[in-house]
Amino acid sequence: MPPLKCVRRLCAATSNGWIRYRPWAFVLGWTIVCGATMAAAQPPALTPTAPTLPAAAAPAQADPVSPAQQSGTQPKFVESARRWADEHQILKRLSGDVDGWYPRLGGMTRGSGFALGPGYRTHVLDDRVLVDASAAITIRRYKAVDVRARWLQTWNERVEVWTDYRFEDFPQEDFYGLGPDTVESMRTSYAIRGSDFTVRAQVKPLRWLRTGLNVGYLSPKVGPGRDREFPSIEEVFPGTSLPGLLEQPDFIHTQLFAEVDYRDTPGNPRRGGFYRAAYSTWDDRTLEAYNFRRFDTNLAQFAPLTADRKHIVSGRVGLSFVNNAPGDRVPFYALPYVGGTDTVRSYREFRFKEENAMWLGVEYRWIPIKWVSGVLFADAGKVARNWQDVIDAADMKQGYGFGVAVHSSKQTFARIDFGFGGGEGRRIFLKLGPSF
């Protein structure tokens, strides 16, 4: 995972109020139509090669065409959309199966709003090098630019070497304070922008095992928030008490990771598991005051309850620890968190922050019809100053809710979750791709 994303997450969340619901209703409807179009337009097999999509999001073999579709009874709009998508190779462009332009969807941070922009990929140097460049802007004026190049792919595509450059500008990030006892009324806004250049190498010695090493240089800058509904961060939190607010160092960051993935279909899993562990070092190269180490692990397991795999139960556990030597500090924007679509869905994104975090969740999923799933879920999590306190199950933030996902047999196109139980109102999260 690129470090800026590790520091500040991906994709989109939402807020209360009908005025804010309407854009999400539009996005959800658009996603459902595109999902159905993309599913019907899928070729027999696709091999994802683009670095812009993780393996879990790569489209795969198409589902069989239904008799109703063969008889031409589908709506004319859907027919036209499928024909247009097929003629312009939209699915292949999204999956990275062909060179040329493609639409970039997402790839921002949580809470940024729906992201859209142009992308272009091409092979150069006799097809030995893949170059992929893209940019996007969101409805909340978040911006990002990515340029990626794969310089080496060998050993039957099991060994790869990449360079990644990313610039991002996030003007309305949320911060509520440090620790598990912050209140919602403490919400503030801050802006963060910066660039990150990373070299990454990965090896896949077995079908289900991937390991890698990332080394990069990150230059973040923090400024006043531009969300007019909430005060800027410096108006509420004194800079001297909040590490990384008044002064921001440049980092050399190194990450060693390993992944075990034996899910049956990563884009729409019904059986199997995904386990990831990563150890990172962050070395302050300018101020020598913000050196720290970080450990992250995520575990997810899926099990069908019936032979037809229309009823599935799944669970996940996540842990994040940071450790700094005496005299060093951890920037507030780099701290682990609980809250949002990846952790506890009854709270806003990044609601609680501290040096240690743990979260867990369980889901029951039912597939009543081919393209749609219904989901019931329960989440819990907590943050704490000391790691001994965070693994204690007492005083965990809790939540529950339900969701709806749109998918094919191999790929989840979009999911919307409704979270309750946190005592801070209902939460709505839209995510492109599977929940976890």
The structural domains of the chain, with segments of one domain joined by +, span 3-8+121-431
Split at pLDDT 50, 70, 90, the class of 74 is: low
Instruction: Provide the 3-class DSSP secondary structure of residue 3.
Output: helix
CA distance 119 to 105: 10
pLDDT above 70: residue 383: yes
Decide the pairing of beta strands 143-154 and 352-353. Answer: unpaired
Higher model confidence: residue 139 or residue 278? 278
Token pair belonging to 305 = 């309850």
pLDDT above 60: residue 414: yes
CB neighbour burial string for 328-354, b if at least 16 within 10 angstroms, e if fewer: bbbbbbbbbbbbbbbbbbbbbbbbbbb
DSSP E strands in 55-139: the ranges are 100-105, 115-124, 129-138
CA distance 342 to 347: 11
CA distance 195 to 77: 42
Task: Kindly state the DSSP code that residue 178 receives in the 8-state scheme.
Answer: B
CA distance 93 to 102: 5
SS3 of the chain: helix, strand, coil, percent, to 5: 15, 45, 40
Split at pLDDT 50, 70, 90, the class of 75 is: low
What local confidence, expressed as pLDDT, does residue 433 receive? 79
CA distance 54 to 42: 18
3-8+121-431: CATH, from 2.40.37.10, 3.90.550.10, 3.50.50.60, 2.40.160.50: 2.40.160.50
Split at pLDDT 50, 70, 90, the class of 170 is: very high
Span 418-424, average pLDDT: 97
Q: CA angle 419-106-150, nearest 5°?
A: 135
Residue 220 CB neighbour total at 10 angstroms: 22
pLDDT above 90: residue 260: yes
Task: Kindly state the DSSP code that residue 66 receives in the 8-state scheme.
Answer: P
pLDDT tens sequence across 104-163: 988 888 889 889 999 999 999 999 999 999 999 999 999 999 999 999 999 999 999 999
Angle between helices 76-87 and 18-40 (to 10 degrees): 70
User: Nearest-CA neighbor of 380 among 428, 326, 344, 423?
Assistant: 344
Residues 54, 123, 131, 122, CA torsion sign = negative
Task: Kindly state the DSSP code that residue 186 receives in the 8-state scheme.
Answer: G
pLDDT tens sequence across 6-41: 444 433 333 333 333 344 444 444 443 444 333 333
Token pair belonging to 370 = 């081919």
Place of tokens 């920037």: 331
Contact 365, 402 (CB under 8 A): no
**Helix (H) and strand (E) counts for the chain?**
7, 18
